[in-house]
Amino acid sequence: MTSGLSRRELLGSAAVVGGWVLLGEQVTQAQETRPQTTPAAESGPYQLPPLPYGYADLEPFVNAQTMKLHHDIHHAGYVRGANEAVAELEAIRQQGGEQIKRVRAVTDKLAFNLCGHILHDLFWKSMTRNGGGDPPADSQAARLIKRDFGSIEAFRAHLAAAAVQVHGSGWGILAYEPLARRLLVLQAEKHENMGVWGAVPLLALDVWEHAYYLQYQNKRSDFIKAFMEVINWNTVEERLELALKLA
């Protein structure tokens, strides 16, 4: 990733969206693919990333049907919505006049869809075949999780409780907060509410019903247990090492 960047470069390239810090790599990708004049829905600054594994690769924990619908339909919808919002804001600026009153509504649409895109991108990377267990004993993640939560087990219990208790649709998230230089377990309602400005998400657990209902029905906690078996600690470590440079 961008681990060769200095702190100043990293800060300069990070953007904050809906309370979540977006690390430099994704911002750069977005800037390099500026919208063209084609309809906003299918093109624009944001693109649906391919899954980092096959649809069936996380079975039995996440089945192929759930994975395909979730990625190809739901995640794609957030990408489309974010691109639409960007194009609508551009049109509003150009047209001016009464159109300017739509900024509130379209900004809301942008935050919802873009945060949905950002968190799904991290969600796919948060899981891997043969993942789960504890982070490597000598990793920064293991060190900081033990320091800030007491133990890996206490962290897992906290994350699971946060994910189970989300009101409605949302997320359980492990994040690094650079002001106090500490890890936090956060919840997100929908994709964008309850975020903490400046906190960098390191691990994201989707508990919208579409993430588990086909396979686990109403048993959200069973899906959360399954997620624990596929956690990708390499992703956590990579993102944590970048986040540590923010403070």
Closer of 199 and 211 to Mn ion (Cβ): 211
Q: Considering the complex, what minimum distance in angstroms separates the CB of residue 102 from Mn ion?
A: 27
| CB of residue 165 to Mn ion, shortest distance in Å | 18
Paired with 22 in beta bridges are 15
- With H, G, I as helix, E, B as strand and everything else as coil, classify residue 99: helix
Q: Classify the C-alpha dihedral 77-81-87-88 as positive or negative.
A: positive
Query: Would you say 142 or 174 has its CB closer to Mn ion?
Result: 174
What values do phi and psi take at 5, rounded to 5? -70, 145
How far CA 175 is from CA of 65, 157, 180, in Å, comes to 29, 16, 12
Nearer to Mn ion, 74 or 102 (CB): 74
The smaller minimum CB distance to Mn ion, of residues 14 and 211, is found at 211
The least distance separating Mn ion from the CB of residue 71, rounded to whole angstroms, comes to 9
What token pair was written down for 139? 């990793």
Closest residue to Mn ion using C-beta atoms:
206
Query: Would you tell me which residues interact with Mn ion (CB under 5 A)?
Result: 74, 206, 208, 211
Which pair of tokens denotes residue 196? Answer: 């903490």
Least Å from the CB of residue 210 to Mn ion:
5
